[in-house]
Amino acid sequence: MKRTYFLLQLKLFFNNPKNIGLFIISAIVALYFGLVSAPNHHIIEKIDQPAIQAELDDHQAFIKIADKEFQRSANNPNAMPPSKGAKEAKRTYPTIIKLDKLRLQALNNNNYRAYASFSWQWYHYLDSLLFQKAIQNYTYPSEYYSQTNYPGYDGHYGYSRITALYKGLSQGKTSVNKDILEERTSLQILQKSLSGWSVILLIIFVCLFTCDLLTYDQKFRTILKNIPLTKTFQLGTKLVVAFIGIIFNFLISFLIIILCTAPRYGLGSLSLAVPIYRGRPYYEFSFKTISLGRYFVYFSMMALLVILIFISLSILISLLIKNSYITAILTIIVAVIAKVSYFSLGMGYVYPWLRYLPTTYFTIGDSLSGYLSYLMGTPGWGFQWGLMPLLVLLIGLNLLLLIFSNSRRFSII
C-alpha cells in the first residue's frame, strides 16, 4: 500500500497541469538564459588586447610629457615645478607599463596562464593605487561608477575578486583559456548565476510547484479520503514526491543551459578556482579561492535545505488553510522578504542579529561567494553561518507538521 500510494502521488505530481506548465516555463527560461542572456552578459574585466595596447601607448606618451616637465624644471630654477600628475606618473607608470607589455606578450603567444599571472599583479597593483592611495591618475572602469552608489568600494571589490580569480587560475593545474578567464564556461556560468534574484526565482518555482500539494488531492477525494495510511506518512510521501519533482525540473533546466553554452564556451572544470570574499575590504588580499567542485558541494547542501524548507512550509500552510493561492502568496513573500527588505551595504554592521535569521541565506550564492558579507559590511554570513539557521528552521517546520498531522482538527483532504 505504501509503495502504491507513493507511485500514485508521483503520477499525480507529474500529471498535474499546473506542474506541466511550470516544467515548460522552466525549460523556456533555461533556453533563453543559455542562448540569449549568457552570451550577451556584459563582462567588465574582459580580455581586450586593443584596449591594453591603447592604455600602454597612452602611458608611454604621458611618461614622455612628464620627463619634459622634470627636465624643464631641472634646467630652469624659475620654471614651474612638475605637476602632481607628472610626479605620480613617474612613480607608478613604469610598473604598469612593464606589466602591460608582459600581458600583451602573453596574449600574442596565446599563453593565457602567463596572462593570468601578469594580470593579477596588474589588478592588485592598480587597485592599491586607487583604493588605498587614492591616486587621481587612475580610475576604475566606468561601469563601477554608472551602476552603483559606492564606486570606490565596488571597484575595489571587483578588482580584488579578479585578482584572486586570476591568481588562482594561474597557479592551478587546469589548462586556461580566454573563456575560462572571462568565466564563460558552462560550469562557471552556473556558479555565477546561482545567486541573488536568480536563486529567488528558483525558490518561487518551488513555491508554485508545492502550493497545491494538498488541495489537488480534493479532485480525487473518493479515492484518497479513506486510504489506510497515517497522515504523517501521507505528508512525508508528498514531501518526498515534491522534492523529486523539483530536483528533476532543476536538473533538466541546468542540463539545457549546459547544452546551450558548452559547445560555444566549453564545459569547464570542477578544479577551477572560485573567488570567495573574506569580509574585510582593507585586507591586502580580500579574497581567497576554493575549487568549483567544492563550491558546488556547499551550494548543493544549502540548496537542498532551502528546497525542503519551502516544501515543508507549503505543506504546513496548506494543512492549516486549504487554499493553494494563499499558500503560494505566503511562501513567495517568505522567499523574497530578505532580498527586498534589508540587503544593503552596512546593514549587517548595524543589525548583526540578521545573521541568525534563515531568510538571510535564501539567496545561497551570495552567501557562499562572500558577496553577502560585502553587502552587510562585516565578515561571516557564509556557509558555516547559514547552515545552522536553515537546519533549525527545517527541523522546526517538520516538528510543526508532525504536531498538526496528528491532530484531528486538520485533515489532509
Query: What do you get for the CA distance between the two ends of the chain, in Å?
Result: 18
Compute the average pLDDT of residues 185-202: 94
Q: Which of 91, 92, 94 is nearest to 127 (CA)?
A: 92
Q: How far apart, in whole angstroms, are the C-alpha atoms of residue 325 and residue 224?
A: 22
Identify each DSSP E strand in 139-209 by its residue range. Answer: none
pLDDT for residue 352: 84
Q: Which of 197, 203, 120 is nearest to 371 (CA)?
A: 197
Between these two residues, 195 and 2, which has the higher pLDDT value? 195
pLDDT for residue 413: 65
For residues 3-28, b (16+ Cβ closer than 10 Å) or e, as one string? eebbebbbebbeebeebeebbeebee
Q: Which distant-in-sequence residues (6+ apart) come within 8 Å of 175 by Cβ?
A: 113
Q: Which distant-in-sequence residues (6+ apart) come within 8 Å of 94 by Cβ?
A: 63
Q: Which distant-in-sequence residues (6+ apart) come within 8 Å of 297 by Cβ?
A: none
- Greatest mean pLDDT among 8-12, 55-59, 202-206 lies in 202-206
Helix, strand, or coil (residue 274): strand
| Burial of 257 from C-beta contacts in 10 A (0-12 / 13-18 / 19+) | buried
Residue 226, pLDDT > 80, answer no
pTM of the model: 0.91
| Spatial contact of 363 and 200, defined as CB atoms under 8 Å apart | yes
Compute the average pLDDT of residues 75-94: 76
Q: How far apart, in whole angstroms, are the C-alpha atoms of residue 8 and residue 17?
A: 16
Task: Give residue 346's pLDDT band: very low, low, confident or very high (50, 70, 90).
Answer: low
pLDDT for residue 344: 66
Compute the average pLDDT of residues 82-109: 88
Q: How far apart, in whole angstroms, are the C-alpha atoms of residue 112 and residue 219?
A: 61
Q: Which of 338, 29, 364 is nearest to 195 (CA)?
A: 364
pLDDT for residue 189: 96
For residue 360, the surrounding DSSP H or E stretch is none
Q: How far apart, in whole angstroms, are the C-alpha atoms of residue 111 and residue 109?
A: 5
Q: What is the pLDDT of residues 124-183, one digit of tens each?
A: 999 998 887 777 778 888 888 766 666 678 888 999 999 999 999 999 889 999 999 999
Compute the average pLDDT of residues 317-335: 93
Between these two residues, 200 and 90, which has the higher pLDDT value? 200
Mean pLDDT of the chain: 89
Residue given cell 559547445 in the structure block: 263
Compute the average pLDDT of residues 373-381: 84
Q: What is the pLDDT of residues 250-287, one digit of tens each?
A: 999 999 999 999 999 999 999 999 999 987 766 767 89
Q: What is the pLDDT of residues 387-402, one digit of tens each?
A: 999 999 999 999 999 8
Q: Which of 238, 244, 247 is nearest to 215 (CA)?
A: 238
Number of Cβ within a 10 Å radius of residue 292? 21
Q: φ, ψ for residue 374 (rounded to 5)?
A: -65, -45
Q: Check residue 262 and report its DSSP letter.
A: H
Residue 347, pLDDT > 90, answer no
Q: Which of 78-87, 187-196, 350-359, 371-380 has the lowest mean pLDDT?
A: 78-87
Residue given cell 527545517 in the structure block: 394
Q: Which of 7-11, 155-159, 227-231, 327-331 has the lowest mean pLDDT?
A: 227-231
246: its cell numbers: 523539483
Between these two residues, 403 and 406, which has the higher pLDDT value? 403
pLDDT for residue 181: 96
For residues 34-49, b (16+ Cβ closer than 10 Å) or e, as one string? beeebeeeeeebebee
Q: Which of 327, 367, 299 is nearest to 242 (CA)?
A: 327
| Spatial contact of 413 and 217, defined as CB atoms under 8 Å apart | yes
